Amino acid sequence: MRADLATSYGEDRLPRYTSYPTAPHFSPAIGGGIYAAWLAGIPTNASASLYLHVPFCREMCWYCGCHTQIVRRDELVAAYQRTLLREIELVADTIGRRIKVEHIHFGGGTPTIMAPEAFTELMAAMRQAFFVLASAEIAVEIDPRTLTADMVEAMRLSGVNRASLGVQSFDPVVQRAINRVQSFEQTASVVDMLRSAGIAGINFDLIYGLPHQTVVSCLDTVRRGLALAPDRFSVFGYAHVPAFKKHQRMINESVLPDGLSRHDQACAIANALKEAGYVQIGLDHFARPDDSMALAFAGQTLRRNFQGYTTDRGEVLLGFGASAIGHLPQGYVQNEVQISAYLQGIDAGHLATAKGYGLTADDRLRAEIIERIMCELSADLGAICARYGARPEAMLTSAPRLKSLISDGVVKLDGDRIAVAKDSRFLVRSVAAAFDAHLDSEKHLHSRAV
């Protein structure tokens, strides 16, 4: 990408568009009663994905943007797991039938902080409450520093077939600056354990834009990661929002890379992974050509949800746990963020929904345009608008940001079809933002565009 474009657009604070509208626009007007009605109204032929949020870690990584809490003792984790069991039963009873499930994702925090027997009990409860397909993808996010052999065995017995390992960087200088010291040997040992247990799908999460990070250190991390041959890489730009995540104040802002340096790091990582044979997918994912995500990208069936890019085609995402977000045909719901409030709500026998958003026709139209831009780097406005009884000319007129993106060569407009220029892939969020009718009031909550 041209340096002038990185300078012009790279400092913009923009959503990652894992939903539209984004979470800052959720309202407490959507509570447990509305969520219950939405659950009961799920179409009979619908399939669902399940997301379980486990908001606990043994220590805080200073770059972290997740909802998590540091725990030294296991009593709170055990109590939380028992509440998850109750929430699963409550949601299933509200739906009124065993809905088909194609994807399960454990996110965190550190989901593997649970006792192995608690994890297997949770998986068994989900299989009893829902009809989990034999082909379902069951994925768990893992901190390689704390994973035990007993937990790997519990994951194997529970049918886990994909593991997402937090790596971030193998540079010890960067690791010390973000309070996450994790050796290459630790990571390699965990990969070996997982593969020996038959958990074949391995993802690595990397971050650029961290303190003291350079192109050289990024490339060294990629080189080491490639030696372990994961199926996928996710490569995220660090979002420094200390006003929102106070622990990020531990990071020295003077050693954070500037916008142009972040762009150079992102490009260097992308080029190295492509040279190694990985397919670049959307904004920040890379996969082997025979991986299901690469095939979905090639077949234009890739989707985007709160876990990022996904092969999941379902229209129902059920979120469990504190701060978990769900997506139903009617809109979005989010549980209580505070762990204590979540526990109290579910233990009292009612849904812990704290806020949400009911989708309008305009929201659905814009959501599809934004998702296609994020997934395919292009969108056929004519075809999409036709499905919603809208005119593409009106949609283009309502997106004034497009004018500068087109004049700067970031966007190509061919009739009713828009496409991100090949040399401007890293600005895909800027293009998606042109169709965001809610953007201006929430910019301060988001990460840099590059």
Q: Say whether 174 sits in a helix, a strand or coil.
A: helix
Statement to judge: residues 266 and 400 lie in one domain? no
Statement to judge: residues 371 and 313 lie in one domain? no
Give the residue among 115, 110, 119, 118 at the shortest CA–CA distance from 59: 110
pLDDT at 314: 84
Number of domains in the chain: 2
pLDDT in tens, 31-67: 999 999 999 999 999 999 999 999 999 999 999 988 8
pLDDT in tens, 282-330: 989 999 999 999 999 999 999 999 888 999 988 899 999 999 999 999 9
Residue at which a domain ends, from 338, 358, 378: 358
H or E segment to which residue 371 belongs: helix 361-376
CA–CA distances in Å: residue 374 to residues 84, 257, 370, 427: 32, 25, 6, 10
User: Does residue 373 surpass a pLDDT of 90?
Assistant: yes
Q: What contacts 378, CB < 8 A, 6 or more positions away?
A: 372, 417, 418, 419, 420
Domain assignment present for 54? yes
Percent of the chain clearing pLDDT 70 (strictly above): 96
CA–CA distances in Å: residue 155 to residues 88, 123, 138: 19, 9, 9
Q: Say whether 79 sits in a helix, a strand or coil.
A: helix
Statement to judge: residues 212 and 226 lie in one domain? yes
pLDDT at 442: 53
- How many CA atoms lie within 13 Å of 83's alpha carbon, on the beta-carbon side? 27
Residue at which a domain ends, from 303, 335, 358: 358
pLDDT at 444: 47
pLDDT at 20: 95
Statement to judge: residues 238 and 162 lie in one domain? yes
Percent of the chain clearing pLDDT 90 (strictly above): 86
Domain assignment present for 380? yes
Q: What contacts 428, CB < 8 A, 6 or more positions away?
A: 282, 283, 373, 374, 377, 420
Q: In angstroms, how far is CA 131 from the centroid of its own chain?
A: 24
- CATH no. for residue 432? 1.10.10.920
* Domain limits for position 254: 21-358
Alpha helices by DSSP H, listed for 228-354, are 259-275, 292-298, 339-347
- How many CA atoms lie within 13 Å of 372's alpha carbon, on the beta-carbon side? 19
Domain assignment present for 423? yes
Statement to judge: residues 392 and 244 lie in one domain? no
φ/ψ (deg, to 5) at 53: -100, 125
- CATH no. for residue 293? 3.80.30.20
Domain assignment present for 339? yes
